[in-house]
A and B are shown apart, each in its own frame.
Chain A
Amino acid sequence: MFKNVAELVEKAESQGISIAEVMIRQEMEISEASREAVRERMGRNLDVMEQSVAKGLAGVKSLSGLTGGDAVLMQQYIAKGKTLSGPFILDAVSKAVATNEVNAAMGMICATPTAGSAGVVPGTLFAVRETLNPTRDQMIDFLFTSGAFGFIVANNASVSGAAGGCQAEVGSATGMAAAALVELGGGTPEQSAHGMAIALKNLLGLVCDPVAGLVEVPCVKRNAMGAAVAMVAADMALAGIKSRIPADEVIEAMYRIGQVMPSALRETARGGLAATPTGKKLERQIFGEKK
């Protein structure tokens, strides 16, 4: 089993295979399952992701009323043909938002790596589907590549907001998406590692401060920005830009930052945006006077 990014890249490069392929082989070994079974299981995850994106783009509303409908607004804006950051990034943004709006509405999603950060990977994947025209197999590989990087983060740091803040959730998801985008975009395993490092570096320190304890504000928009960061980080890596700090050390830094992050900023809804006057007011409106 690969324990860190360095080992993962080495395995891929020495055998001349993709990161997705390293992950698939490892999964076949630990689960004693056939290649077809492992790929098919990932295919089911892909199908659920596609359904959540479609559902969100059709428009949903959460029970609290805090989130929903922004994915639709973004698509309407793109359709007008005049945007500042360009249609590709904004398509990823709207599809990430769509997924998290469905999640907030207690709809069905696939956690990647968590539910609160479930929008970034599918958001970017279904956006580049429009531009790179990947086959279904390539889309499944995209998920294995993201999974390989997420696997390392989860084992060496954390993917839990309660343990490590939002950097561990949206931060991890953004790093995973960036690495997979690089691979789909034709980059080398080493470039994937740089893409991952560049993405995660820019979300270090991000706290988990959900208003009223709901996975809505600011989670949905953090997925939006995670998708945008992942696209830009992947482009940077494909341009040949390297992260001065290696991916494994960025992951280690993320872990250490999480350890010293006060509990008020780790999914307890006691600090950050949750503790702002408006955050408190929304909490009272939704749950009434409590605690």
Chain B
Amino acid sequence: MKYNSVFDIIGPIMIGPSSSHTAGAAIIGRLARSVFGRMPKIADIHLYGSFAETYKGHATDVAIVGGLLDFDTNDERIPQSLHLAREAGMEVAFHTEEAVPEHPNTTMIHLEDEHGSMEIIGVSIGGGKVEITELNGFKLKLNGMYPAILVLHDDRFGVISGVTNILTKHRVNIGHMEVSRKEKGKMALMVIEVDQNLQDSILDEIRGLEHVTQVTRMSP
């Protein structure tokens, strides 16, 4: 089922005018910010389908940037977000794309600063619900409802059990888990949805594992 909660239907409380093109866009921006882990210096935002056609009228651009500034969907600063991003030193550019995406409301966000860069694809499926479908070229499916940890690692045996052993030790329950790779034997991305936000010490422990390159978290 795409929708689990009655509050996906009655809600969110949000700044208008569109739940998919404004609130959903803000949520995708905020999830991107959460995975990036800090305020980006550069944000290149690519818009596809209906997002590309109508982003100005729906303030999709303003909303995504609001999300990148870590604003919630009902934050009354959203209408001023382009200005606030400039003040915060974030360089923002929008690109409307011709390519026809699988879902009409799709955005690809490229974030960058001196410490690194990241590329994320998000889809706004309606009523303020979103899905993250790709991260740095890895296919995934996250709806941002639960905290998740994202582990970039070598595609080797034993890595998955290494990570889950640590979670077991700390009595963390896994709600959903998937692993994706671009090529056999190279890099893989492990996505684990958990029931509670994890302490930094657990993430550090995972970072210490052999063959683990990067560990980030996404908080709803």
Contacts and interface: CB of A to CB of B under 8 A. Distances in A.
Contact residues of B: prevailing secondary structure: mixed
A107 B59 CA distance: 13
A200 interface: no
Given A106-B59, A213-B53, A268-B54, A112 B9 contact: yes
Given A168-B126, A210-B54, A269-B53, A147 B9 contact: yes
B145 to A, nearest CB: 10
A14 B19 CA distance: 36
Contact residues of A: prevailing secondary structure: helix
Interface residues of A, number: 59
A89 interface: no
Interface in A158-210: 158-163, 168, 176, 210
Interface stretch (A23-31, A69-77, A128-136, A230-238): A23-31
Contacts of A226: none
A115 interface: yes
Q: Looking at B5, B54, B59, which has the most chain A CB atoms within 10 Å of its CB?
A: B54
Interface in B89-142: 103-105, 124-128
A243 interface: no
B48 to A, nearest CB: 11
A105 B76 CA distance: 12
A111 B14 contact: yes
B19 A146 contact: no
Interface of B: 1-23, 49-50, 53-59, 74, 76, 78-79, 103-105, 124-128
Q: What are the 9 closest A-B residue pairs judged by CB atoms, nearest first?
A: A160-B126, A213-B54, A213-B57, A103-B16, A150-B9, A215-B17, A147-B6, A214-B57, A111-B19
Interface of A: 1, 3, 23, 26-27, 30-31, 41-42, 44-45, 48, 102-116, 118, 121, 143-144, 146-148, 150-151, 154-155, 158-163, 168, 176, 210, 212-216, 263, 266-270, 287
